[in-house]
Amino acid sequence: MTRAVPILLLFVVLFSCQKDNDDNASNVSISFNFMHHWDGTAVTNQDFNRIKFINENGEQLSIERLRYLISDVTLKNQNGEVLVIDDYNLVDVTNSENLTFSPEALIPTGVYSNISFTFGFKNEKNSDGAYPDLNSASWNVPQMLGGGYHYMQFDGKFLNSTNTEQGFNYHAIRAVDDPGDNPVFPQDTFIIVNLGPVTITDTPVFNIEMNIAEWFKNPNTWDLNMYNQMLMPNSTAQIMMFENGQHAFNLKTIEQ
């Protein structure tokens, strides 16, 4: 996959008017580094393809492929005004690609009460086939499951109860029931990741960490012998992924 530069649109609510009057505020670029660890031990693609991790349930496992989508970086200022960067990034840990996301939009310096991003796509952005770069990356969800895109593709192998290597496909998508022409959606499963308050002074770099072990841990102790493959059409599994993903990300540091 070539690193496609996604189309950028910046929705500015109220800010544009304010900016004209405020000579002190300047606009700066922001970027995000995505780093990964397993309960504190750093993980890169160099750690892939070997059974070397143990999850909360005690299962030994390997990571062979890990990609996930983040979108809609959102800043809220102290007046409650919200600025959404309408852009997305497919983090590809397998190939060490797009580990840094630098949206083209510029952000006014200042104090923000919260910065957040979406893990996956919000439903209204999750339209089937809408993004050629994601289609080219085979990131789609079949229409029988509601279409749109994967949130995460996490593939690997684990030692099952008979001590044999078995594949697992921890694929997070929008939870869906009744696959077919009229699928229904029991609840939203994209995740809003809140990073907390931030004062932006100069081209900040947000270092974001994902603890991969969290996906198997909290609140649902994941049993790979039970949930390993064919999880896309399994709304119970999807909702558990959504719950476990709540604590997977955190903001490690900001450099600016």
Partner 1 sequence: MKKRLTYYSLIFACIFWTCSNEVVERYTPTPVALEIPALFEDRILNPILPVDNPQTAEGIALGKKLFFDPILSGDNTQACADCHAPQNAFSDADRFSEGIDGSIGRRNSMPLFNLAWNYEEKFFWDGRVFSLEHQAFQPVTDPTEMKNTWANVILKLQQHPQYPGLFQQAFGNVTIDSTLVTKAIAQFERTLISSNSKFDEFLLGRSDLSPAEQRGFNVFMDENKGDCFHCHGSDNNPLWTDNQFHNNGLDATFTDLGLGKFTGDPSDNGKFKTPSLRNLAFTAPYMHDGRFATLEEVIHHYSEGLKPSPTIDPLMKKVAQGGVRLTEQDKSDLKAFLLSLSDYDFINNPDFNDQ
- Is residue 256 close enough to count as binding partner 1 by CB under 8 A? no
Report the alpha-carbon distance of residue 138 to residue 122 in Å, rounded.
Answer: 19
Task: Provide the token pair at 26.
Answer: 């300047």
Asked whether 176 and 238 are in contact (CB, 8 A), the reply is yes
Beta bridge partners of 29: 106
Supply the minimum distance, in Å, between the C-beta of residue 247 and partner 1.
25
Please, what is the minimum distance in Å from the beta carbon of residue 68 to partner 1? 15
Interaction of residue 232 with partner 1, rule CB under 8 A? yes
When asked if residue 10 is in the footprint of partner 1 (CB under 8 A), the reply is no
Helix (H, G, I), strand (E, B) or coil at 216: helix
Structure tokens given for 57: 């349930």
To partner 1, the closest distance from the beta carbon of 87 in angstroms equals: 17
Residue by residue, DSSP assigns 169-201 as EEEE----BS-SSS-B-SS---EEEEEEEEEE-
Of 24 and 46, nearer to partner 1 (C-beta) is: 46
| Residue written as token pair 């890169």 | 44
Choose which of 138, 163, 182, 219 interacts with partner 1 (CB under 8 A).
138
* Interface pick for partner 1 out of 16, 27, 135, 199 (rule CB under 8 A): 135
Among positions 40-99, residues that touch partner 1 (CB under 8 A) are 48-50, 64-65
Q: What is the spatial distance between Cα 185 and Cα 170, in angstroms, rounded to a whole number? A: 19
CA distance 84 to 105: 10
Q: How far is the CB of 215 from partner 1 (least distance, A)?
A: 15
CB closer to partner 1, 30 vs 171: 171
Residue 238 to residues 76, 141, 174, 187: CA-CA distances in angstroms?
29, 13, 7, 10
- Which residue in 119, 168, 206, 242 binds partner 1 (CB under 8 A)? 168
Query: Per-residue string for binding with partner 1, 185-224, x by CB under 8 A?
Result: ----------------------------------------
By the 10 Å C-beta count (0-12 exposed, 13-18 middle, 19+ buried), 118 is classed as buried
CB of 189 to partner 1, least distance (A): 16
Per CB under 8 A, residues contacting partner 1 are 1-2, 4, 48-50, 64-65, 128-129, 132-133, 135-138, 140, 142-145, 153, 155-157, 164-169, 179, 229-233
